[in-house]
Amino acid sequence: MANETVLVTGASGFIATHIVESFVRAGYNVRGTVRSERTAHKVRYTFQEYKDKLSLVIVPDVAAARAFDEAVQGVTGVIHTAAPFQTEVEDKERDLLRPAIEGTINLLDSIKRCAPHVRRVVHTSSFADILDVSKGDRPGHIYTEADWNPMTYAEAINESTPDMASYCAGKAMAEHAAWEFMATENPPFDLVTICPPYVFGPVKNATASLVNLNNSSMDVYRLMSPMSKPSHAMPPTSLWVWVDVRDVAEAHLKAFEVPEAGGQRFLIAQGTYSYQGIADILRDNVVEVRDRVPVGKPRSGLGDVYGIDASKSENVLGLSYRPLEDPIVDAAKSFLKLEQVI
C-alpha cells in the first residue's frame, strides 16, 4: 500500500474530496484529475497536510479520446467520480448523455491500453441508475442493486423529458456502458460500481462556496440560509433516500480493498428522509440558525414512499451507516464557516 498510487478522477468534487481523504488516510498515494490549473491549486490547498501524498493531472475534457492516457500510467487502482452534473442544459445529448457515457468508456479504454498494473476500477454511479422516476413515490417498493433506471436513450434526449430525468438516465447509461465494456473487452482489471442517493455532509473542498454548492448541499443550506425564515413553506422532497458523504467515501475505499467486491454493484444508502426531518434536526441541534429554519409541521414523518435495502454493502463491504443528525449538523457547521468567508 505504501507504494501504491490510486487515481481519483474529478478530485475537486464534493464526494471526491472525501474519497481522496479516505485513501490518503489509509496510506495510499493519490493522483487526482482536475480540469484546470486553477482548480488544481484549490485542491492542493484543501489537502495541505497530505501534500506529499497527493499529485494532480489536468484533464480538461473527460469525453475527449485518450483523455486519461497520461493520468492512468503507473497506478494500481482507479476511482472514477468525474461526471457532468447539470440540471438545466441546452442540448441533453451533448451536455448530459455523451459526456457521461464517453467519459466512462474513454477512461476504461485508457486503463486497458496504458495501465497494466491496475487491478480494480471503482466507478461512482448513482441511485439515479436504480430509481424508476416514472413510478414516483412507489409506496411499498424496496429498491436494491437488482433495480435499473429503465429510461431509453430516445426518451432521455426527448425535449419533453425533464433535464433531471435525462441526467439520471445518462448516469444509468454510463454504468451500463461500463459493464458492457467489461464483458466485451475482457480487461485484466475488474469493476465495482457504487450507487449513492442524495449525499449529505460537511463541505471540505476548497472549490466550494455558498453560490456554487453541489445540489444536495444547497438543498440543506437553503433551509438555514439568511434568506430563510421560520414562516417559509417547507420545500417538497423529491428524492427520499440519503447517505452521509463520509460513508460514501468509506464505501469506495472498501470497494477497492475487499476482494469479494470485484464485479459487483452496491447501493450505498442509510435510509429515507424528508426536508421536514432535516429542518427539525437543524432547529434542534444548530442554535446559530434556529431562527432561520422553516418550521413546517415538526415530526410529521415521511408518508408512504419507497424504501431501500442496502444490506449488501453492510455484508460485503462491512459498512455501518451514520444517523441523519451527523451529516446535517456537520454540513451546517461547514456552511456557517463558508458564511464567514463572504
Catalytic residues: 171
257, three cell numbers? 480493498
For cell 492542493, the residue is: 44
Contact 198, 271 (CB under 8 A): no
Q: What Cα–Cα distance (Å) separates residue 139 from each residue in 135, 136, 240, 303, 307?
A: 9, 9, 11, 9, 8
Distance CA 194, CA 61 (A): 23
Distance CA 238, CA 286 (A): 24
Which 8-state DSSP code applies to residue 289? G
How big is the chain, counted in residues? Answer: 342
Alpha-carbon Rg of the chain, whole angstroms? 20
Region label for 271, one of left (φ > 0), alpha (ψ between -120 and 50) or beta (otherwise): left
φ, ψ for residue 36, nearest 5 deg: -155, 160
Distance CA 224, CA 102 (A): 38
